[in-house]
Structure 1
């Protein structure tokens, strides 16, 4: 933990900072933050200091120093730092890297069903591998030779740990999670367009009833609720840039009715869009 804290402090500017290690970022925040919407991508986030709360459809996941969060698919969440100073390292979970590791190793027992978000305690072995990976930032000439092996070690610690079933599904091309991910990307990229569940189910190669069941199991939402959260998070971001055009923002994210937009915005964020933007 000490080594992780030192590396993050040395290489992170305030906020999220990309590093020379592909797919690895470091995060530093000197004070607690207000809740803000975000699109969570498939990632591993390990906290070295402080604590953060991530909320998915009303369910809060709190994780602090020595713990990690795994996200298996793209998810609309609200997050804020609850204890500061806050230090964390974030690793993108790439399906091809996980698949490669699964092909080269013996089958891993997996009992639990995959979920969209999970929080667990980080093992000393996982923390040590992460500390050695970040240490490469002080020896950039070693990155081409050593980074791939260290990322592989970190993924192995995840696969054999408490979130292993979920991480494993990310790498399996024919898994339910991989099929759902295609449909989720479709909603994410076209959230402002009308949604047809039948088309999404076909994209995920599932029946409509099976698609609904698996989608809710992973995201805790129906597809319509998922789209609504994407629209409202996008609207909140747009209002930061143009607080005066509430109706225009509502239309831009897919609402036909300004009153419906205002009503659903208030239900999600607690205040009307005009007041929230101020």
Structure 2
């Protein structure tokens, strides 16, 4: 798989240290890890993750998804998952390219393709075979970070090719649903975007159901089917992830972080934290400071 080797060489050169690196290309970032990581709760944005070397596993509602150079990950909406690098070493680090999805661009591509069927219901997260053509397009896209004069003109073409190839594959329905913003996924995505932006605030589930254009019972059913949790559980995951970031990166205490993300009771914050992360905030933060928490 020469094109995978080429992609690994590029990522290794552009991300020489462990962590997440933002590139000069819009919505393109790189991930590097020289060792396996502990499972970490995190929120994945709508994106495509292409691995050039190593292996990672994400778990949602107890269901594991493995992706490596033979397969890539597609995420359709912001999803709380448990992520862990499961294969990496200093000699062969985990190397990954992440392309966040642009709905406007997807919609434009779908509308120009006469062979595209209507959007259909699809799982919000999936893995699919990484074809040589897809990896080759990713190599050409990433190589443009080293040629800014050409990037402005050629990067959009390489990104379009990546999306075209996935749309033509077995999980094209997921991208079509993202593009349309309709169907069950689109309805739930509107609520997810609201919860992400307003996680500090209280909400009425009736209002969320109206936002999705569903009856209350239908909303509960479909929200759980897409995200594997209730709206309250989803909001708490977002709160706890942001609080964890504040404690690890900004040095806030558990009480300070809890209040900052919307909790009124430090004891409730600690109970929810232990239920999600299986450790108290203090012990979890001490563990994470021993490993880069950005690898979620």
* Structures share fold, TM-score greater than 0.5: yes
Contact 1:34–1:81 (CA<8 Å) still a contact in 2? yes
Uncovered stretches (5+) of structure 2, i.e. residues with no partner: 287-296
**Equivalent runs, 1:1-278 vs 2, <5 Å:** 1-14=4-17, 15-84=19-88, 85-109=93-117, 113-241=121-249, 245-278=253-286
Measured after TM superposition, the shift of residue 188 of structure 1 is 1.0
Measured after TM superposition, the shift of residue 199 of structure 1 is 1.1
Contact 1:50–1:83 (CA<8 Å) still a contact in 2? yes
CA deviation string 1:24-63 (max 9, x = no partner): 1222222222333332111000111001122334433221
Q: Which has the higher contact order (CA 8 A, sep 6+)?
A: 2
* Mapped partners of 2:155, 2:82: distance in 1: 31
Measured after TM superposition, the shift of residue 217 of structure 1 is 2.0
* Mapped partners of 2:256, 2:25: distance in 1: 40
Q: CA RMSD in A?
A: 2.1
Contact 1:76–1:229 (CA<8 Å) still a contact in 2? yes
Q: Pick which of 157-166 and 29-38 moved more.
A: 29-38
* Mapped partners of 1:241, 1:127: distance in 2: 34
Uncovered stretches (5+) of structure 1, i.e. residues with no partner: none
Closer, same or farther: CA 34–103 of 1 in aligned 2, 3 Å: same
Structure 1 runs, 4 residues or longer, greater than 6 Å off: none
